[in-house]
Structure 1
Amino acid sequence: MSVSLVDGKVHNPEGIEVNASLQCNMRCKSCAHLSPLFRRENADPAEMHDILTVLAENYHASYAKIMGGEPLLHPDVVGLIDAVRTSGVADTILVATNGTLLDRMTERFWESVDSLELSIYPSRMLTPEQVDHYRDLAAEHGVSLLVNFYGHFRSVYSEVGTDSAPLTQEVFDTCKLAHYWNSHTVFDGLLYRCPQSLFMPQKLQNGGWDHRVDGLEVEAGPEFLDRLYGFLTSTTPLRACQNCLGSVGKLHPHEELPRADWRPTEPTEELVDFEYLEICKDDITTDDGCVERSVSVPLGGA
């Protein structure tokens, strides 16, 4: 689903992403946020509130997705949730977590969220009893819960990249994050179309480039609306697309890797799943094969 202009604002039918913490307590191969390469850095609730309040003058999302890294590493995740909610940038608040720290969350946490997306991985499986417990807590607090059991990831980027302009365009055109999931990401006063365009250039081994080239500075005033809409609907690949694999990287079993072994050193051409790319050219909504099964508990469900 693409963005649209509704009542004088850009409307994102999906969610705007807020990275509570850039660090994660897991080291998943092909993490789209490159979390295994980041050290501890947490979002400041007051700063996030201010920038989202300005953005909300011209932009609205169906939900705000508090994520990471692992968002529950944030020392004041409830304060961040409250800051995002009061900015008015989205209708509801969703927290996406691997669930390994969920047992530390207080009653106030469960009262502050509308939806919870629990991603469970083979290397850190939660017990059925834990999942049932969180399902009960969600139902008790009127929180909708989606539990995704992941078995695979898709390769996310290449340290080498590609010089092929046609391949770069195809990766961009079939990118679910940019065109289907609308994974707009706010960071340090800028809006990005996807997390890779923000995080990848900061961590490339060759020094990368200034990640701000793929971002749009958030500004107040009605004149910002046209720039915002043009930015989010542009058909020109981002600078990051030369190294990014978008949604069409090769599928591989989920695993955690040591930080020293985490970087993908093959060129883009060796990491793209060309068969899946062709499928996504015809239907970008085609399932990517990463989630093995999902369990959903709707709002107020039992």
Structure 2
Amino acid sequence: MSVDKESNTPLIIFGYAAVGKKIYERIKKEDSHKRVFFCDNSKDKQGIHGGVMVLSLEDVVTGYNDAAFIVASLRHSKQMYQQLIDVGIPTENISLDLPDDIIGEELAREQKQRMTALDSIHVEVNINKDCNLNCTGCDHFAPIAEADTLELDIFKKDMIRLADVMAGHIHRIILLGGEPLLNKDLLEYVRIARICMPDTEVFIATNGILLGKMDEIFWSVLKENKTGLLVTKYPVKLDYDALRKKVEEKGIVWKYLGSSESGRSLWHFPLDLTGKQNAVDSFLHCANANSCHTLERGRLYTCSIAPNIKAFNRFFEKNVPLADDDGIDIYKAKSADEILKFLAKPIHFCRYCNVKKRTYDHPWRVSKKKIEEWTL
């Protein structure tokens, strides 16, 4: 965690999250007078927080390009390093080395959280499986999926049941795909979600490509039903800044999904078709576990890969099994507590995810529909 710079040179921690904050505390403890700032891609994080300045990359370029930098990320350091290089930061000013104890503490915290029943979750619902972008290695298997549009009556029934059994324990419903803007009945899903979940955030997760073609009815329904957009920014010919301005002028909330404000890179999440992985280890080390809670026709899953495996099996004529008890039946569950505890434990399907071989920050590209995109 060292960059050889003069002691009076500003130090910028790239990544305003748990790891970066721990590094900041350690540096300030060792030298309380050291000038330390953060930099983050998310506009929501930029500004002053508790007396700490969080800069944008533009701020860095104009005022701090001679600073020393520490890239503070467990999984996306490669992409973040390249961002700094792209804006002109010399390689000798950038450190990727993080203290082993801080890495260990953060990994342990993540693992503990995965095995802890959460009080409130977000629920993702695939309203269709097809997509207009088809990213290599998509963990929803969109490039090889059929449309498989979720029936409106099933969606409504599931929303009513969720609102009943999970009252007060769902803070967000996300309608996604595939690409949900391809679904001709999208606005009906929006209306149903809002009626069933009047106090819950409702968002549509989209790549944004079709947003410029949506009519006024689309925007009025979103506004009327307090439904926002979760946008993933892809390296395609699309003016995301202009789109965001248009969306916000219409009174619609626009958020970037995860760190996608910096531009989407790809990951490789290989399956183990033999099912020889240790399910507990896979669960503990999986960033999706007890995080990407997915509702699939009456069953809730702890991640997004398991309920979408049907597309992989069909396209490649494989038989990665999805057992009934890999998801919990929301109609048989007697309480929210039962559901939340289920989501916080490994499932049989975890044996088929080779989590330790996952890699991140690959250049974005369109899928060639080769099995190697989802295996080793």
TM above 0.5: yes
Question: Is 1:225 matched with 2:331?
Answer: no
Shift of the 194–258 alpha-carbon distance from structure 1 to 2, 3 Å rule, reads same
Q: Which of the numbers 134, 158, 161 marks the counterpart of 1:51?
A: 158
- Displacement of 1:245 in angstroms is 4.3
Counterpart in 2 of 1:24? 131
SS of residue in 1 equivalent to 2:204: strand
- Displacement of 1:202 in angstroms is 4.9
SS of residue in 2 equivalent to 1:84: helix
Counterpart in 1 of 2:320? 208
Please say if residues 270 and 357 of structure 2, whose CA atoms lie closer than 8 Å, have aligned partners that are also in contact: no
Please say if residues 34 and 199 of structure 1, whose CA atoms lie closer than 8 Å, have aligned partners that are also in contact: yes
SS of residue in 2 equivalent to 1:41: coil
Q: Distance in 2 between matches of 1:201 and 1:41?
A: 11
Q: Which amino acid aligns with 2:270?
A: Y
- Displacement of 1:137 in angstroms is 2.5
What's the Cα RMSD here? 2.5
**Ranges in structure 2 where 5+ consecutive residues have no aligned partner:** 1-112
SS of residue in 2 equivalent to 1:120: coil
Residues 202-235 of structure 1, C-alpha deviations (whole Å, 9 max, x = no match): 52342222453311111178x333431321222x
- Displacement of 1:29 in angstroms is 1.3
Q: How does 1:1-302 map to 2 (within 5 A)?
A: 3-5=117-119, 11-12=120-121, 15-59=122-166, 60-88=169-197, 91-111=200-220, 112=222, 113-122=226-235, 124-127=236-239, 131-147=240-256, 148=260, 149-158=262-271, 160-165=273-278, 168-179=279-290, 182-204=291-313, 205=316, 206-219=318-331, 223-234=334-345, 237-245=346-354, 249-251=358-360, 252-260=362-370, 263-266=373-376
- Displacement of 1:243 in angstroms is 2.1
Q: Distance in 1 between matches of 2:199 and 2:142?
A: 25
SS of residue in 2 equivalent to 1:241: helix
SS of residue in 2 equivalent to 1:57: helix
Shift of the 50–255 alpha-carbon distance from structure 1 to 2, 3 Å rule, reads same
Aligned positions, number: 248
SS of residue in 2 equivalent to 1:177: coil
- Displacement of 1:161 in angstroms is 5.0
Please say if residues 159 and 263 of structure 1, whose CA atoms lie closer than 8 Å, have aligned partners that are also in contact: no
Once the two structures are overlaid, the 10-residue window that deviates more, 74-83 or 108-117, is 108-117
SS of residue in 1 equivalent to 2:270: coil
Please say if residues 150 and 254 of structure 1, whose CA atoms lie closer than 8 Å, have aligned partners that are also in contact: no
Please say if residues 197 and 211 of structure 1, whose CA atoms lie closer than 8 Å, have aligned partners that are also in contact: no
Counterpart in 2 of 1:285? none
TM-score (structure 2 length as normaliser) = 0.60
Structure with the greater relative contact order (CA < 8 A, sep ≥ 6): 1 or 2? Answer: 1
SS of residue in 2 equivalent to 1:116: strand
Shift of the 4–169 alpha-carbon distance from structure 1 to 2, 3 Å rule, reads closer
Please say if residues 272 and 351 of structure 2, whose CA atoms lie closer than 8 Å, have aligned partners that are also in contact: no
Shift of the 28–151 alpha-carbon distance from structure 1 to 2, 3 Å rule, reads same
- Identity value in percent: 23
SS of residue in 2 equivalent to 1:146: strand
- Displacement of 1:248 in angstroms is 6.6
- Displacement of 1:241 in angstroms is 1.5
Q: Distance in 2 between matches of 1:91 and 1:262?
A: 39
Bigger fraction of residues in strand: 1
Shift of the 146–245 alpha-carbon distance from structure 1 to 2, 3 Å rule, reads farther
- Displacement of 1:164 in angstroms is 3.7
Shift of the 247–41 alpha-carbon distance from structure 1 to 2, 3 Å rule, reads farther
Q: Which amino acid aligns with 1:209?
A: P
Please say if residues 70 and 97 of structure 1, whose CA atoms lie closer than 8 Å, have aligned partners that are also in contact: yes
Residues 153-205 of structure 1, C-alpha deviations (whole Å, 9 max, x = no match): 2212325355242xx422211222223xx211111111111111111255234
- Displacement of 1:54 in angstroms is 0.7
**Ranges in structure 1 where 5+ consecutive residues have no aligned partner:** 6-10, 267-302
Q: Distance in 2 between matches of 1:213 and 1:125?
A: 43
